[in-house]
Amino acid sequence: MFTLNEIQGFVNQGIQSLIESYNGSQLHLPVEYALSAGGKRLRPVLCLLTYNIFSDNLPPTVLYPALGLEVYHNFTLVHDDVMDNAEMRRSRQTIHKKWDINTAILSGDAMCMLAYKYISKCDPRVLPLVLESFHKAAGQVCEGQQLDIDYEKQLFITEDDYIDMISRKTGALIACSLEIGGWCAEASSQTVNSLYKAGMALGTAFQIQDDYLDVYGDPSVFGKATGTDIANNKKTWLLTYALRHASGEDLTQLNRLLANKETANRVEKVISIYDNLGVKQAAQECVAKYMDQTLAALENLDTRAGRTGILLEFIQGLLNRKR
């Protein structure tokens, strides 16, 4: 089996080789800019770690699809930034700010096609299964983004609404990453189904952890200012919990703060209400709940004992992260 560091090295080297091979395109510079920004490269690593459970080798027929997942994820970020009119991504200007909106749209489209090119380089025997998994996830990501946009216009959404949205926008592609790793390894349908369930639970936990860190993370470790979700009235798990449990003066003040983004010290006042309601501990408990679901699903894999250790260690690190 390969170590986590080795797998992360394969991913980083693969992304660099992909960028170099794309050198002849008119959109090379913005595509390179998007793919070279770093990030956790979570999805290709999860795909390869999953494959590694079943095989001691990592052939091109799984390396290419894993890289395709990362390209697709970055494509969604490019278009998300256009829709959100975001100025910064990973401490750099977004593509539509560095170039223009048309370039961002076209380079995103090019990355989407590039993702399909790489994902389809799996073994022909599993190609239909891999593409079916990817098509399903890609459609869910679009649906999740639309829900996110719709929810920006609503003052109140339920926790179920929120979980449904992030299971599509975040969970679907993470689940697909584990699923494709399983299909490429020619694992059984039952095992791949367990991998999918694990990925969905992991994606949900991962996004709630992101919500938590935006409020309660250490800015010097988190890598960016905290409280931006509150400042932008973004619907998060923490906000849905607060709206469901607030009453009396807390509820009145929270609704007033949500309705008036110009209120002085608004972020601090919302966090104070969160503290009154025990939102911090509740979020930690919710992340732990979905983590338990992830681990439970991974216990059902049809594989030799001891093969899941590196994957479990990586997942545990994701949910214990400070950034």
Residue 44: which H helix or E strand, with range? helix 42-54
User: How far is CA 30 from its chain centroid?
Assistant: 21
What pLDDT score was predicted for residue 222? 57
What pLDDT score was predicted for residue 223? 54
What pLDDT score was predicted for residue 321? 81
Structure token digits, residue 31: 């595509």
What pLDDT score was predicted for residue 108? 98
Farthest-apart Cα atoms in the chain, separation: 62
What pLDDT score was predicted for residue 224? 60
Domain ranges of the chain: 1-121, 126-323
What pLDDT score was predicted for residue 38? 84
**Domain 126-323 in the same topology as domain 1-121:** yes
DSSP conformational letter for 21: H
Helix/strand/coil for 93: strand
How far is Cα 252 from Cα 191, in angstroms, rounded to an integer? Answer: 49
How far is Cα 33 from Cα 124, in angstroms, rounded to an integer? Answer: 32
Amino acid letter for position 173:
L
Which overall architecture, per CATH, does domain 126-323 show? Orthogonal Bundle (1.10)
Determine the length of the chain.
Answer: 323
User: 280-320: per-residue pLDDT in tens?
Assistant: 999 999 999 999 999 999 998 988 778 999 999 999 998 88
The CATH number that domain 1-121 falls under is 1.10.600.10
Which residues does the chain have with pLDDT short of 70? 220-224, 323
**Closest CA relative to residue 38, chosen from 80, 95, 92:** 92
φ, ψ for residue 300, nearest 5 deg = -95, 10
User: 228-254: per-residue pLDDT in tens?
Assistant: 899 988 999 999 999 999 999 999 999
What 3 state SS string does 240-308 have? HHHHHHCCHHHHHHHHHHHHCCCCCCHHHHHHHHHHHHCHHHHHHHHHHHHHHHHHHHHCCCCCCCCCC
Q: How far apart are the first and last CA of the chain?
A: 28
What pLDDT score was predicted for residue 104? 98
